[in-house]
Amino acid sequence: MHPTKRQSEILKSVRLHGTCMIGDLASSLDVSDETIRRDVRSLVHEGLVLKVHGAIASPDHLREDPFMLRLQENQEEKLRIAARAAEMIEHGDALMLDTGSTTTYVAHSLASQRNLFAITNSVEVARSLAGRNNNRVYMAGGELRADDGAAFGETATDFVAQFQVDKAFLSIAAISAESGFMDHELWEAEFCRTVIKQSKKVIIVADHSKFERQALVRVCDFDTVDTLITSRTPPPPIAAKLKSANVDVIVA
């Protein structure tokens, strides 16, 4: 097949599926991985696809929806996940929660817990927990993102690095067997990695739509996480990686 024809088929697959693994494209087009990589280079250069961790993706597929829209997407699943997460939190726990639609629902679900010590970079999370039940809430500083009121950057990361907590609850943009846990922005990933270092137990809260997706920045491997709370059983390749890493999977 002529390279131009292959590139047309590659674009068709990416537009249909959102993301495609290099190996899968090579198999379906009966060529080597290196041939696909050569075909992809010009597509990347033209801005038609993005290269991410052994895969290519449609630029639109990697663009994150506005925060208020994400709060509505898979809302029932996120509420179940949040309720299950709340069962893991005891009175007086020290917590870190990052910004995200699911972690926002986790914060909303903590109305009955008291004396919490919470650190967050999310205005929404801070607003939910502050001023009630004798909670103490620390908000990471820095420039606030207009969309979701989240603080990122060196100031926010340095702030959370001062604390040691019992549990961290993190939202995530994508989970794949090849790349682990991923996020859309470098500063989001850096913030999450700092939170992970400062936490005794790391819990990822993510609905089923995050499975087998790709995002631009790798956050961490499977063996960095203690628990995944999700809404459906993970696909077999991801389930195998989670089992191998001894991650406790809870389906809410």
pLDDT digits (tens, 9 = 90+) for 192-225: 999 999 999 999 999 998 998 888 889 999 999 9
Distance CA 234, CA 200 (A): 24
Q: Which residues pair with 181 in a beta bridge?
A: 175, 220
pLDDT at 47: 81
Residues 46 and 102 reside in one and the same domain:
no
pLDDT at 134: 95
pLDDT at 150: 76
Q: How many domains does the chain have?
A: 2
> What is the residue range of 50's domain?
3-57
Distance CA 133, CA 113 (A): 7
Q: Which residues pair with 118 in a beta bridge?
A: 95, 137
Record the tokens describing residue 158, joined without a space: 């340095």
Domain stops at, among 57, 84, 102: 57
Distance CA 218, CA 224 (A): 12
Residues 46 and 155 reside in one and the same domain:
no
pLDDT at 227: 98
How far from each other are the two terminal CA atoms of the chain, in whole angstroms? 47
Q: Which residues pair with 122 in a beta bridge?
A: 150
Residue 62 located in a structural domain: no
What separation in angstroms does the CA of 68 have from each of 57, 65, 230? 24, 8, 20
Residues 48 and 161 reside in one and the same domain:
no
pLDDT at 149: 67
Residues 147 and 46 reside in one and the same domain:
no
Distance CA 184, CA 219 (A): 10
> pTM for this structure?
0.73
pLDDT at 164: 96
Per-residue pLDDT of the chain in tens (252 residues, 90 and over written 9) = 566 788 888 888 887 777 788 888 888 888 998 898 888 888 888 888 877 767 787 776 655 556 556 667 778 899 999 999 999 999 999 999 998 889 999 999 998 899 999 999 988 899 889 988 999 999 998 777 766 667 888 899 999 999 999 999 999 999 999 999 999 888 889 999 999 999 999 999 999 989 988 888 899 999 999 999 999 999 999 999 999 999 999 999
